[in-house]
Structure 1
């Protein structure tokens, strides 16, 4: 029946929108306010990063065989999220939204299927099939495959080297999933049976799901053609030329094709020269290509057009820091922190640069602001420990180092800074104990630093120290 096919497709598109909105709203709460500027909080499907992957492709898979492959998530800038917990929460938010949709649909089915709506009796098998699809996609999305939300939940907690490898593989994850679903029958059957079992636990009869699937399939192919035509027409009619180029550039960024991304952003800028987001993303792509001066010039244009563009000020600071224009970097980080005072990384980076100029009191004040916002970043505590050591506040330096180690016991400089403080206090035993831990974590870095560090001048004559540095 045509009504069933239309009902399921419209319901599915709305649920995908809610899924993507779930990612965006949690990202916004977690610190990435750029999702608001990109329009992700409007529930407008045309504002998503990739309309084809987020909406059209899931619909096509659904129409081809009732397999609702999840669409691409909205573009989240994970650097701006306050912690690993927020990164995991952003990934979990999509499946949670799908679970919520399934629950609401189930309530509607349970209370509505008994109503004597004879002329609308097709709606109940349609609703049953839609609930099954929602359950199926939750199971699917929670699989620990790079590119899916299930992997995104655990990714922040994995070692950095595994994270880097998985990001390279992530763009192919959806294709691996497609192959598994279409060509590995036991895998597909396992997911399908799991979705059926959960649907039955929710009170949805399997016969009703089957009926909904059969009625849906009667018009699926015709609706597929109509949906594609409508999607292309809407895409062409609603997007302005500079927006199309901008979105194409974002797509190339996700695929790590930075040269192609720059070309797309250049096209957007040619159409609309006062487009700050295009200048900013152009700067981001140039930064990834290590073309730092060009990146700085792009960020300069972005903040010239939009002075309150804190993301551009922050990334400008990163590029300036890399080329060792540190005073300019301080200014950029100060601007970012002034505009976005709850962005802890701006305060942290500001502290690092102030520390470089031996402005230790100011650096500690910046670190304290960062810690106030994000108390569980071990790097901030470690650098704060170093600044306190330079001020000869050794007890405070040790306390800060202990905070860092409690958060991340594998942080080399947290142990090393504590050893420096203990050595300055004349506590040889604890200095050596911490030095041994630092050496276990990174022997080469330890030797490179300890051999010339004046903090250890008072203990260099000790046999244990000489043995540890290999002298």
Structure 2
């Protein structure tokens, strides 16, 4: 390996200052929420938004890193390994819209805009793993958020949530992590649906016949839109969140944590 090649690879793998800023915001706001410093509601808002942005970066990084090991050596030159959200093919889809959906609706919108040169990758299993890598990161992050709550490690009798005129016997940090963990689970569930345009379809697509893939291809741009149109239907929405709540229960966490975290998150509503 030449010195120039080593320099190029180092630059391609260097973590972006944008990601460091997001991480610093996450840690600082988490400390403020945990210690009761400043406004708990605004602290929860910053913590959840920063945590969600960090998770989006890690989601896309997982796709890119898995693709690199699968044979696509171009992902580094595209900036996908720097954890910089502005290096993605569609920063609005992968970064801006998911944050807006969290703020407006409290739901984990799947991102997805790293361009993988699939022709460089040999083997159906590798293609499936590349698609699965992002949602699996969301599942892992959900565990990081929810396991401490379920284990009772964050219980703090001196710091309770005040909401709707009541004192709730949970800490603001537990509520914030409950909401963030719920977002991770909702993103994983949505992304793993076998719908064209989502990662779940990318997992099964390599195993379909060429004829089936060609017949589905025209609908790929509309898959996510169709999913969210369905989620606006009350019955479908209730079923979806029943699934997410059940998954929270797997970690021993009551969905009420996420509900209270969501209310704290919306600090602009008083």
CA distance in 2, matches of 1:127, 1:174: 26
Summarize the Cα distance change of 1:112–1:219 in structure 2 as closer, same or farther, 3 Å threshold: farther
Report whether the alignment pairs 1:114 with 2:155.
yes
In structure 2, the residue matched to 1:101 is: 141
Q: 1:178 & 1:61 partners in 2: Cα distance? A: 11
Q: Which residue of 110, 115, 119 maps to 1:79? A: 119
Q: 2:214 maps to what in 1? A: 164
CA contact (8 A) 1:5 1:219 kept: no
Cα distance between partner residues in 1 of 2:129 and 2:261:
34
Determine which structure has more spread, i.e. the larger CA radius of gyration: 1
Matching residue within 178, 194, 204 for 1:154:
204
Partner of 1:126: 176
Residues 1:40 and 1:128: Cα distance change in structure 2 (over 3 Å): same
Aligned to 1:190: 239
SS of corresponding position for 2:75: helix
Q: CA deviation at 1:46?
A: 1.6
Residues 31, 81 of structure 1: 8 Å contact kept: yes
Equivalent of 2:263 in 214, 217, 221:
214
TM-score (norm. length: structure 1): 0.45
Q: Is the 8 A contact 1:141 1:148 kept in 2?
A: yes
- 1:155, 1:163 within 8 Å by CA — same for their partners in 2? yes
Are 2:55 and 1:15 aligned? yes
Matched, 1:203 2:228: no
Q: Displacement, 1:115?
A: 4.4
1:111, 1:34 → 2: CA distance?
A: 44
Offset at residue 206 of structure 1 (A): 2.0
Q: Which has the higher helix share?
A: 1
| TM-score normalised according to structure 2 size | 0.77
Greater relative contact order structure (CA < 8 Å, 6+ sep): 2
Q: SS of 1:129's equivalent?
A: helix
Aligned residue for 1:42?
82
2:223 to 173, 176, 190: 173
Question: Matches of 2:128 and 2:240 in 1, distance apart?
Answer: 23
RMSD: 1.9
Q: How many correspondences in the alignment? A: 220
C-alpha deviation, 1:108, in angstroms: 3.6
The equivalent of 1:53 in structure 2 is 93
Q: Runs of 5+ in structure 2 lacking a partner?
A: 1-40, 162-170
- Does the 8 A contact of 1:124 with 1:208 survive in 2? yes
Give deviations 1:127-180, integer Å, cap 9, x for gaps.
Answer: 111111111111111111100111110001111122123222111112112211
For residues 347-362 of structure 1, the aligned pairs below 5 Å read: none
2:192 and 2:242 map into 1 onto residues whose CA distance is 16
Task: Provide the C-alpha distance between the structure 2 equivalents of 1:79 and 1:164, rounded to a whole number of angstroms.
Answer: 16
Cα distance, 1:114 vs. partner? 2.3
Q: Which residues of 2 match residues 370-389 of structure 1 at below 5 A?
A: none
1:371-428 Cα shifts (integer Å, max 9, x gaps): xxxxxxxxxxxxxxxxxxxxxxxxxxxxxxxxxxxxxxxxxxxxxxxxxxxxxxxxxx
User: Which residue number in structure 1 is paired with residue 5 of structure 2?
Assistant: none
Change over 3 Å in CA distance of 1:82–1:208 after alignment to 2 = same
